[in-house]
Amino acid sequence: MNVDLVVIGLGYVGLPLAQEAVRSGVSVVGLDLSDAVVDGLNQGRSHVDDLADADVTEMLGKGFRATTDEAVLADAAAVVICVPTPLSEDSGPDLRAVTSATKAVGRHVHEGMLVILESTTYPGTTEEVVKPLLEESGLVAGESFHLAFSPERIDPGNPKFGMRNTPKVVGGLTPECTEAAAALYGRFVDTVVRARGTREAETSKLLENTYRHINIALVNEMARFCNELNIDLWDVIRCASSKPFGFQAFYPGPGVGGHCIPIDPNYLSHNVRAKLGYPFRFVELAQEINATMPAYVTHRAQNILNEAQLAMNGANVLLLGVTYKPDIADQRESPAVPVARQLQALGAQLSYHDPHVTEWQVTGLDAKRVDDLDAAVAEADLVVLLQNHSSYDVDALANGSRRFFDTRGVSTNGNAVRL
Protein backbone atom coordinates (compact mmCIF):
# COMPACT_ATOMS: atom_id res chain seq x y z
CA MET A 1 0.00 0.00 0.00
CA ASN A 2 1.13 3.58 -0.60
CA VAL A 3 -0.18 4.87 2.75
CA ASP A 4 0.22 3.22 6.15
CA LEU A 5 -2.73 5.01 7.72
CA VAL A 6 -5.67 7.20 6.75
CA VAL A 7 -7.29 9.08 9.64
CA ILE A 8 -10.90 10.05 8.93
CA GLY A 9 -11.94 13.11 10.93
CA LEU A 10 -9.26 15.68 11.75
CA GLY A 11 -10.64 17.16 14.94
CA TYR A 12 -9.41 17.04 18.53
CA VAL A 13 -9.12 13.22 18.35
CA GLY A 14 -7.97 12.50 14.82
CA LEU A 15 -5.34 15.22 14.48
CA PRO A 16 -3.30 14.36 17.63
CA LEU A 17 -3.48 10.70 16.57
CA ALA A 18 -2.13 11.60 13.14
CA GLN A 19 0.58 13.74 14.70
CA GLU A 20 1.91 10.96 16.95
CA ALA A 21 1.80 8.43 14.13
CA VAL A 22 3.73 10.77 11.81
CA ARG A 23 6.32 11.41 14.53
CA SER A 24 6.91 7.66 14.71
CA GLY A 25 7.53 7.27 11.00
CA VAL A 26 4.06 6.11 9.95
CA SER A 27 2.94 7.52 6.61
CA VAL A 28 -0.38 9.27 7.26
CA VAL A 29 -3.04 11.01 5.21
CA GLY A 30 -5.87 12.86 6.92
CA LEU A 31 -9.34 12.73 5.39
CA ASP A 32 -11.99 15.30 6.30
CA LEU A 33 -15.19 16.68 4.78
CA SER A 34 -14.28 20.29 5.54
CA ASP A 35 -12.45 22.18 2.83
CA ALA A 36 -11.51 24.84 5.39
CA VAL A 37 -9.94 22.29 7.74
CA VAL A 38 -8.06 20.52 4.96
CA ASP A 39 -6.83 23.72 3.33
CA GLY A 40 -5.75 25.12 6.69
CA LEU A 41 -3.79 22.03 7.63
CA ASN A 42 -2.08 21.83 4.26
CA GLN A 43 -1.00 25.43 4.78
CA GLY A 44 0.35 24.67 8.25
CA ARG A 45 -2.54 26.04 10.34
CA SER A 46 -3.92 24.16 13.34
CA HIS A 47 -7.54 24.40 14.46
CA VAL A 48 -7.30 22.37 17.70
CA ASP A 49 -5.96 23.41 21.10
CA ASP A 50 -3.36 20.68 21.48
CA LEU A 51 -1.46 21.41 18.26
CA ALA A 52 0.24 24.65 17.36
CA ASP A 53 0.80 25.77 13.79
CA ALA A 54 4.43 24.70 14.18
CA ASP A 55 3.29 21.16 14.99
CA VAL A 56 1.27 20.97 11.79
CA THR A 57 4.20 22.37 9.80
CA GLU A 58 6.40 19.66 11.31
CA MET A 59 3.87 17.01 10.28
CA LEU A 60 3.82 18.33 6.71
CA GLY A 61 7.59 18.19 6.62
CA LYS A 62 7.42 14.50 7.48
CA GLY A 63 5.00 13.67 4.70
CA PHE A 64 1.57 14.27 6.21
CA ARG A 65 -1.13 15.72 4.01
CA ALA A 66 -4.85 16.29 4.32
CA THR A 67 -7.50 15.73 1.68
CA THR A 68 -11.23 15.66 1.08
CA ASP A 69 -10.85 12.94 -1.58
CA GLU A 70 -11.91 9.52 -0.29
CA ALA A 71 -10.00 7.84 -3.14
CA VAL A 72 -6.97 7.88 -0.85
CA LEU A 73 -8.62 5.04 1.10
CA ALA A 74 -7.89 2.60 -1.73
CA ASP A 75 -4.18 2.99 -1.04
CA ALA A 76 -4.38 2.64 2.75
CA ALA A 77 -3.17 -0.30 4.80
CA ALA A 78 -5.19 0.91 7.79
CA VAL A 79 -8.04 3.34 8.44
CA VAL A 80 -9.03 4.90 11.76
CA ILE A 81 -12.45 6.57 11.98
CA CYS A 82 -12.48 9.54 14.38
CA VAL A 83 -15.71 11.36 13.55
CA PRO A 84 -18.16 13.03 15.97
CA THR A 85 -21.05 11.15 17.61
CA PRO A 86 -23.27 13.82 19.21
CA LEU A 87 -26.52 13.02 20.97
CA SER A 88 -29.56 12.53 18.79
CA GLU A 89 -33.03 13.80 19.71
CA ASP A 90 -33.83 10.55 21.56
CA SER A 91 -30.62 10.85 23.64
CA GLY A 92 -28.87 8.08 21.72
CA PRO A 93 -25.74 8.62 19.66
CA ASP A 94 -26.16 10.29 16.29
CA LEU A 95 -24.29 7.85 14.04
CA ARG A 96 -24.71 9.68 10.76
CA ALA A 97 -21.06 10.71 10.60
CA VAL A 98 -19.97 7.17 11.51
CA THR A 99 -22.16 5.56 8.86
CA SER A 100 -21.05 8.09 6.25
CA ALA A 101 -17.38 7.47 7.00
CA THR A 102 -17.92 3.70 7.06
CA LYS A 103 -19.68 3.75 3.71
CA ALA A 104 -16.74 5.67 2.27
CA VAL A 105 -14.35 3.04 3.59
CA GLY A 106 -16.64 0.31 2.25
CA ARG A 107 -16.30 1.71 -1.24
CA HIS A 108 -12.54 1.19 -1.04
CA VAL A 109 -12.04 -1.67 1.44
CA HIS A 110 -9.66 -4.35 0.22
CA GLU A 111 -8.06 -7.60 1.29
CA GLY A 112 -5.89 -7.20 4.38
CA MET A 113 -7.07 -3.70 5.28
CA LEU A 114 -7.37 -2.80 8.98
CA VAL A 115 -10.41 -0.70 9.88
CA ILE A 116 -10.69 0.78 13.39
CA LEU A 117 -13.55 2.81 14.84
CA GLU A 118 -12.55 5.30 17.55
CA SER A 119 -15.73 7.36 17.73
CA THR A 120 -17.46 6.94 21.10
CA THR A 121 -20.73 5.07 20.80
CA TYR A 122 -22.93 2.41 22.37
CA PRO A 123 -21.80 -1.22 22.81
CA GLY A 124 -22.39 -3.22 19.66
CA THR A 125 -21.92 -0.43 17.12
CA THR A 126 -18.81 -1.95 15.56
CA GLU A 127 -20.49 -5.31 14.99
CA GLU A 128 -24.04 -4.15 14.32
CA VAL A 129 -23.48 -1.00 12.27
CA VAL A 130 -19.93 -0.79 10.94
CA LYS A 131 -19.41 -4.45 10.06
CA PRO A 132 -22.54 -4.86 7.85
CA LEU A 133 -21.80 -1.66 5.96
CA LEU A 134 -18.25 -2.76 5.21
CA GLU A 135 -19.38 -6.24 4.20
CA GLU A 136 -21.63 -4.76 1.51
CA SER A 137 -18.37 -4.77 -0.45
CA GLY A 138 -18.53 -8.57 -0.61
CA LEU A 139 -15.55 -8.97 1.71
CA VAL A 140 -15.94 -10.59 5.13
CA ALA A 141 -14.79 -8.85 8.33
CA GLY A 142 -12.38 -10.99 10.32
CA GLU A 143 -11.50 -13.00 7.23
CA SER A 144 -10.86 -10.67 4.30
CA PHE A 145 -10.04 -7.61 6.39
CA HIS A 146 -9.50 -6.72 10.04
CA LEU A 147 -12.07 -4.78 12.10
CA ALA A 148 -11.59 -3.36 15.60
CA PHE A 149 -12.71 -0.70 18.05
CA SER A 150 -10.37 1.49 20.10
CA PRO A 151 -11.88 4.19 22.33
CA GLU A 152 -10.36 7.64 22.06
CA ARG A 153 -8.92 8.92 25.33
CA ILE A 154 -7.75 12.38 24.32
CA ASP A 155 -7.90 14.92 27.16
CA PRO A 156 -7.60 18.33 25.47
CA GLY A 157 -5.16 20.65 27.21
CA ASN A 158 -3.64 17.93 29.41
CA PRO A 159 0.10 18.70 29.61
CA LYS A 160 0.98 15.35 31.21
CA PHE A 161 -0.90 12.75 29.17
CA GLY A 162 -1.17 12.71 25.41
CA MET A 163 -1.55 10.18 22.63
CA ARG A 164 1.74 8.36 23.22
CA ASN A 165 1.70 7.85 26.98
CA THR A 166 -2.03 7.22 27.46
CA PRO A 167 -2.66 3.44 27.31
CA LYS A 168 -4.66 2.43 24.22
CA VAL A 169 -7.48 -0.08 24.59
CA VAL A 170 -8.15 -2.21 21.50
CA GLY A 171 -10.78 -4.86 20.89
CA GLY A 172 -11.09 -6.72 17.60
CA LEU A 173 -13.82 -8.71 15.95
CA THR A 174 -11.47 -11.69 16.21
CA PRO A 175 -8.22 -12.24 18.11
CA GLU A 176 -6.37 -11.70 14.83
CA CYS A 177 -8.15 -8.38 14.39
CA THR A 178 -7.14 -7.36 17.90
CA GLU A 179 -3.50 -8.16 17.20
CA ALA A 180 -3.55 -6.24 13.93
CA ALA A 181 -4.91 -3.14 15.70
CA ALA A 182 -2.44 -3.57 18.57
CA ALA A 183 0.41 -3.77 16.09
CA LEU A 184 -0.64 -0.50 14.45
CA TYR A 185 -1.04 1.44 17.69
CA GLY A 186 2.10 -0.15 19.09
CA ARG A 187 4.09 1.81 16.53
CA PHE A 188 3.26 5.12 18.23
CA VAL A 189 1.64 4.37 21.64
CA ASP A 190 3.68 3.15 24.62
CA THR A 191 1.10 0.77 26.09
CA VAL A 192 -1.62 -1.22 24.30
CA VAL A 193 -4.34 -2.91 26.38
CA ARG A 194 -6.15 -5.77 24.65
CA ALA A 195 -9.88 -6.13 25.32
CA ARG A 196 -11.76 -9.42 24.81
CA GLY A 197 -13.66 -7.95 21.87
CA THR A 198 -15.22 -4.87 20.35
CA ARG A 199 -18.09 -4.64 22.84
CA GLU A 200 -15.75 -4.68 25.83
CA ALA A 201 -13.62 -1.96 24.24
CA GLU A 202 -16.71 0.13 23.46
CA THR A 203 -18.08 -0.24 26.99
CA SER A 204 -14.76 0.57 28.67
CA LYS A 205 -14.90 4.16 27.40
CA LEU A 206 -18.48 4.55 28.60
CA LEU A 207 -17.58 3.18 32.03
CA GLU A 208 -14.69 5.66 32.37
CA ASN A 209 -16.92 8.64 31.70
CA THR A 210 -19.93 7.30 33.58
CA TYR A 211 -17.68 6.92 36.64
CA ARG A 212 -16.72 10.59 36.42
CA HIS A 213 -20.27 11.70 35.63
CA ILE A 214 -21.73 9.98 38.70
CA ASN A 215 -19.02 11.16 41.10
CA ILE A 216 -19.30 14.75 39.86
CA ALA A 217 -23.05 14.54 40.45
CA LEU A 218 -22.37 13.29 43.99
CA VAL A 219 -20.28 16.32 44.94
CA ASN A 220 -22.62 18.68 43.10
CA GLU A 221 -25.50 17.46 45.22
CA MET A 222 -23.36 17.71 48.35
CA ALA A 223 -22.53 21.31 47.43
CA ARG A 224 -26.18 22.22 47.76
CA PHE A 225 -26.87 20.84 51.20
CA CYS A 226 -23.42 21.75 52.55
CA ASN A 227 -24.17 25.37 51.69
CA GLU A 228 -27.51 25.15 53.50
CA LEU A 229 -25.85 23.53 56.53
CA ASN A 230 -22.98 26.08 56.55
CA ILE A 231 -20.39 23.39 55.83
CA ASP A 232 -17.34 24.21 53.69
CA LEU A 233 -17.43 21.36 51.17
CA TRP A 234 -14.08 22.37 49.69
CA ASP A 235 -12.47 21.86 53.10
CA VAL A 236 -14.35 18.56 53.46
CA ILE A 237 -12.86 17.36 50.17
CA ARG A 238 -9.41 18.54 51.23
CA CYS A 239 -9.62 16.56 54.44
CA ALA A 240 -11.03 13.44 52.75
CA SER A 241 -8.23 13.61 50.16
CA SER A 242 -5.65 13.13 52.90
CA LYS A 243 -6.61 9.45 53.02
CA PRO A 244 -3.98 7.60 50.93
CA PHE A 245 -6.39 4.89 49.79
CA GLY A 246 -10.06 4.39 48.98
CA PHE A 247 -10.87 7.98 47.99
CA GLN A 248 -10.53 10.03 44.82
CA ALA A 249 -11.35 13.71 44.91
CA PHE A 250 -14.05 15.15 42.65
CA TYR A 251 -15.13 18.76 42.79
CA PRO A 252 -18.43 20.59 42.30
CA GLY A 253 -18.91 23.25 39.66
CA PRO A 254 -21.43 25.11 37.52
CA GLY A 255 -22.15 22.02 35.42
CA VAL A 256 -20.32 19.52 33.24
CA GLY A 257 -19.00 20.24 29.77
CA GLY A 258 -17.03 18.88 26.87
CA HIS A 259 -17.99 16.09 24.52
CA CYS A 260 -17.47 13.20 26.93
CA ILE A 261 -18.94 13.65 30.41
CA PRO A 262 -22.32 15.23 29.53
CA ILE A 263 -22.86 12.92 26.54
CA ASP A 264 -21.14 9.53 26.70
CA PRO A 265 -23.00 8.13 29.75
CA ASN A 266 -26.25 8.77 27.89
CA TYR A 267 -25.14 6.34 25.17
CA LEU A 268 -24.98 3.59 27.77
CA SER A 269 -28.26 4.61 29.41
CA HIS A 270 -29.99 4.77 26.02
CA ASN A 271 -28.61 1.36 25.06
CA VAL A 272 -29.79 -0.25 28.30
CA ARG A 273 -33.30 1.18 27.87
CA ALA A 274 -33.51 0.28 24.18
CA LYS A 275 -32.19 -3.27 24.48
CA LEU A 276 -33.15 -4.32 28.00
CA GLY A 277 -36.21 -2.20 28.67
CA TYR A 278 -35.21 -0.73 32.02
CA PRO A 279 -33.37 2.43 33.09
CA PHE A 280 -29.74 2.84 34.09
CA ARG A 281 -30.80 4.72 37.18
CA PHE A 282 -27.39 5.93 38.35
CA VAL A 283 -26.70 7.61 35.02
CA GLU A 284 -30.14 9.18 34.71
CA LEU A 285 -30.02 10.55 38.25
CA ALA A 286 -26.50 11.92 37.70
CA GLN A 287 -27.66 13.57 34.49
CA GLU A 288 -30.59 15.16 36.34
CA ILE A 289 -28.34 16.55 39.09
CA ASN A 290 -25.59 17.84 36.81
CA ALA A 291 -28.06 19.38 34.37
CA THR A 292 -29.60 21.49 37.15
CA MET A 293 -26.30 23.00 38.34
CA PRO A 294 -26.51 26.06 36.03
CA ALA A 295 -29.89 26.90 37.58
CA TYR A 296 -28.42 26.44 41.06
CA VAL A 297 -25.50 28.75 40.21
CA THR A 298 -27.96 31.33 38.91
CA HIS A 299 -29.98 31.06 42.14
CA ARG A 300 -26.88 31.53 44.27
CA ALA A 301 -25.80 34.53 42.17
CA GLN A 302 -29.24 36.07 42.68
CA ASN A 303 -28.96 35.52 46.43
CA ILE A 304 -25.58 37.26 46.55
CA LEU A 305 -27.11 40.36 44.96
CA ASN A 306 -30.19 40.14 47.19
CA GLU A 307 -28.00 40.22 50.29
CA ALA A 308 -26.59 43.51 48.99
CA GLN A 309 -30.16 44.77 48.39
CA LEU A 310 -29.64 44.65 44.64
CA ALA A 311 -31.85 43.10 41.98
CA MET A 312 -30.55 40.80 39.28
CA ASN A 313 -32.68 42.76 36.82
CA GLY A 314 -30.37 45.47 35.50
CA ALA A 315 -27.32 44.26 37.40
CA ASN A 316 -23.93 44.32 35.65
CA VAL A 317 -22.72 40.70 35.80
CA LEU A 318 -19.27 39.73 34.52
CA LEU A 319 -18.59 36.08 33.67
CA LEU A 320 -15.01 34.85 33.83
CA GLY A 321 -14.12 31.82 31.69
CA VAL A 322 -16.64 30.44 29.20
CA THR A 323 -14.83 27.29 28.00
CA TYR A 324 -15.64 23.85 29.36
CA LYS A 325 -12.20 23.29 30.93
CA PRO A 326 -9.22 25.46 31.88
CA ASP A 327 -6.64 26.81 29.46
CA ILE A 328 -8.22 25.71 26.19
CA ALA A 329 -10.56 27.39 23.71
CA ASP A 330 -13.01 24.47 23.46
CA GLN A 331 -16.55 25.55 24.33
CA ARG A 332 -18.44 22.32 23.61
CA GLU A 333 -21.29 21.81 26.08
CA SER A 334 -19.83 24.49 28.36
CA PRO A 335 -22.05 25.17 31.39
CA ALA A 336 -21.30 28.86 30.87
CA VAL A 337 -23.99 28.90 28.16
CA PRO A 338 -26.98 27.82 30.29
CA VAL A 339 -25.73 29.94 33.20
CA ALA A 340 -25.53 33.01 30.96
CA ARG A 341 -28.92 32.36 29.42
CA GLN A 342 -30.60 32.03 32.79
CA LEU A 343 -28.92 35.17 34.14
CA GLN A 344 -29.97 37.09 31.05
CA ALA A 345 -33.55 35.81 31.44
CA LEU A 346 -33.56 37.41 34.91
CA GLY A 347 -32.56 40.74 33.40
CA ALA A 348 -28.81 40.75 34.06
CA GLN A 349 -26.61 42.92 31.83
CA LEU A 350 -23.91 40.41 30.86
CA SER A 351 -20.30 40.76 29.86
CA TYR A 352 -17.57 38.14 29.76
CA HIS A 353 -13.84 37.69 29.74
CA ASP A 354 -11.91 34.66 28.56
CA PRO A 355 -8.26 34.74 27.47
CA HIS A 356 -8.92 31.92 24.99
CA VAL A 357 -12.20 33.13 23.46
CA THR A 358 -12.23 36.33 21.43
CA GLU A 359 -15.79 35.82 20.18
CA TRP A 360 -18.44 34.02 22.21
CA GLN A 361 -21.31 33.52 19.82
CA VAL A 362 -24.37 31.91 21.39
CA THR A 363 -27.80 32.20 19.81
CA GLY A 364 -30.02 34.60 21.73
CA LEU A 365 -27.26 35.65 24.13
CA ASP A 366 -26.08 39.25 24.45
CA ALA A 367 -22.76 39.22 26.28
CA LYS A 368 -19.97 41.56 25.25
CA ARG A 369 -16.32 40.71 25.70
CA VAL A 370 -14.31 43.01 27.97
CA ASP A 371 -10.67 43.75 27.21
CA ASP A 372 -9.65 45.58 30.38
CA LEU A 373 -10.21 42.84 32.92
CA ASP A 374 -9.29 44.77 36.07
CA ALA A 375 -11.55 47.70 35.16
CA ALA A 376 -14.45 45.40 34.28
CA VAL A 377 -14.07 43.51 37.56
CA ALA A 378 -14.11 46.74 39.53
CA GLU A 379 -17.20 48.05 37.73
CA ALA A 380 -19.33 44.88 37.85
CA ASP A 381 -22.06 44.43 40.44
CA LEU A 382 -21.18 40.74 40.48
CA VAL A 383 -18.26 38.76 39.06
CA VAL A 384 -18.84 35.04 38.51
CA LEU A 385 -15.86 32.75 38.01
CA LEU A 386 -17.07 29.90 35.79
CA GLN A 387 -13.71 28.58 34.59
CA ASN A 388 -10.40 28.87 36.39
CA HIS A 389 -7.89 29.62 33.63
CA SER A 390 -4.32 29.63 34.91
CA SER A 391 -3.85 33.23 33.77
CA TYR A 392 -6.40 34.40 36.33
CA ASP A 393 -5.13 35.61 39.70
CA VAL A 394 -8.39 34.70 41.37
CA ASP A 395 -7.63 36.16 44.79
CA ALA A 396 -6.55 39.47 43.26
CA LEU A 397 -9.65 39.56 41.09
CA ALA A 398 -11.86 38.83 44.10
CA ASN A 399 -10.12 41.56 46.06
CA GLY A 400 -10.72 44.06 43.26
CA SER A 401 -14.40 43.26 42.89
CA ARG A 402 -17.52 44.40 44.67
CA ARG A 403 -18.87 40.87 44.85
CA PHE A 404 -17.17 37.71 43.64
CA PHE A 405 -18.84 34.31 43.20
CA ASP A 406 -16.32 31.47 42.83
CA THR A 407 -18.01 28.39 41.34
CA ARG A 408 -14.70 26.50 41.20
CA GLY A 409 -13.68 26.76 44.85
CA VAL A 410 -10.18 28.06 44.07
CA SER A 411 -10.22 31.36 45.94
CA THR A 412 -8.71 31.87 49.37
CA ASN A 413 -9.76 35.51 49.51
CA GLY A 414 -12.41 36.16 52.16
CA ASN A 415 -14.22 38.53 49.78
CA ALA A 416 -15.23 35.63 47.53
CA VAL A 417 -18.34 33.49 47.97
CA ARG A 418 -17.62 29.88 47.02
CA LEU A 419 -20.15 27.48 45.51
Q: Which residues are catalytic?
A: 260
Residue 416, Cα to own-chain centre: how many angstroms?
29
Tell me the C-alpha distance between 43 and 57, whole Å: 8
Tell me the C-alpha distance between 333 and 337, whole Å: 8
The C-alpha angle 154, 160, 166, rounded to 5 degrees, equals: 45
Which of 96, 118, 116 minimizes the C-alpha distance to 105?
Answer: 116
Query: For residue 364, which phi and psi values (nearest 5 degrees)?
Result: 80, 5
Which of 86, 90, 37 minimizes the C-alpha distance to 65?
Answer: 37
- Hey, is 49 helix, strand or coil? coil
C-alpha dist (Å) from residue 304 to 181, 300, 336:
55, 6, 18
- Residues in the chain, total: 419
Tell me the C-alpha distance between 127 and 381, whole Å: 56
Tell me the C-alpha distance between 114 and 124, whole Å: 18
Integer distance in angstroms from the first to the last C-alpha of the chain? 57
Q: Assign residue 309 a region: left if phi > 0, alpha if psi is -120 to 50, beta otherwise?
A: left
